[in-house]
Amino acid sequence: MSLLVKICGLTTPDTLASALDAGADMVGFVFFPPSPRHVGLTAARELGRDVRGRALKVALTVDADDAMIENIVETLRPDLLQLHGRESIARIRDLKQRFGLPIMKAIPVATDADLAPLAGYADVCDRILFDARAPKDATRPGGLGATFDWRLLQGLKLDRPFMVSGGLSVDNVAEAVRITRAGGVDVSSGVERTPGVKDCDMIRDFIRAARAAEELSVQ
């Protein structure tokens, strides 16, 4: 199965076009006001139209309530919901029943202990995203540009597809794929000039490097 490449936190037509033209499999839109990558509903509607079925549209939320998710679903028409908060297994089950969309749950990782809840989430989620655990004083979740020890995922037995995120860049994506044998990679800050400002050349370079890593992994 080919490696899935996701470019997350897209906010402008030009960076979205760069991701699509370079062959991104997934494009992510962040609906979380504290994030510098937050996109409003009006902008999301326009950006979503530009995708035109060329990639999967992913809506990222953090502990959002039903009303917010309903607005996002109606506006963006996402193919996948990415949950990046403290959503419980019961909450995810309820969301799947209400909205009928596949769900990818982000699991923050720093130590082996962080993998303990994995089996329960794998039972209800369609895909798992392993991300670096945010520092204790962070104001938002996610890797925030930091990697985690990818060796923690070696030998992982998981009956769900999984992706890796957190601190990925053109320089380390091949190593991440080699160590984790992940089915996908997800990048955001690693293709930015400054927080929240994506760089078209960096997007293209990252996707190119991910595809090269994929080819090496099957040799």
137 given a catalytic annotation: no
Give the torsion sign (CA, 190, 51, 212, 2): positive
171 given a catalytic annotation: no
Query: Which own/partner contact pairs does 50-54 have at CB distance under 8 Å and 24+ positions apart?
Result: 50/13, 50/16, 50/17, 50/20, 51/16, 51/20, 51/27, 54/20
Q: Which whole-number Å values give the CA distances from 90 to 67, 87, 126, 213, 217, in the listed order?
A: 18, 8, 15, 37, 36
Contact 25, 6 (CB under 8 A): yes
Rounded Cα distance between 11 and 20, Å, is 13
Contact 124, 89 (CB under 8 A): yes
- From the candidates 8, 25, 125, 186, give the one annotated as an active-site residue: 8
Rounded Cα distance between 15 and 200, Å, is 5
Contact 29, 60 (CB under 8 A): yes
- From the candidates 25, 125, 131, 186, give the one annotated as an active-site residue: 131
* Exposure string over 10-19, b if 16+ CB within 10 A, otherwise e: bbeeebbebb
Query: Which residues are annotated as catalytic?
Result: 8, 131
